[in-house]
Amino acid sequence: MKQTQSYLLLICMVSAMGGLLFGYDWVVIGGAKIFYEPFFALEDSAALRGWAMSSALVGCLVGALLSGVWSDKYGRKKMLIIASFLFVLSAIGTGAVDTISYF
């Protein structure tokens, strides 16, 4: 009984951390909004502003859906290494582009 409660608590904490990080991503892209909207001239297009805000979350959602299956298939360590490379690549990529399509 005690072990089951500890395991359930661990699962709840991991789940809560996932929600926290998902919310953190939302806040980060929202905080960058004041910088990328004038840079990409998005002030006049509500659709492009919405797409710029939501596309980061779409990527997070797709990554979350695929990560469990890929971790089971390839192992957690390999997936963490791949995720770190993708994170660096996306940081460089979003900093190097000058059009909203690539951003």
Percent above pLDDT 70 for the chain: 99
pTM across the whole model: 0.63
Q: Tokens for 35?
A: 């910088």
For the segment 49-88, what is each residue's pLDDT rounded down to a tens digit?
A: 888 888 877 887 888 888 889 989 998 889 888 888 988 8
pLDDT at 60: 77
User: Per-domain residue ranges for the chain?
Assistant: 19-96
> Are 37 and 43 a contacting pair, CB within 8 Å?
yes
User: What gap in Å lies between CA 42 and CA 91, rounded to an integer?
Assistant: 21
Q: Is the pLDDT confidence value at 1 over 70?
A: no
- Mean pLDDT, the chain, rounded, equals 85
Q: Tokens for 86?
A: 């993708």
Q: Look at residue 99 and give its three-state secondary structure.
A: coil
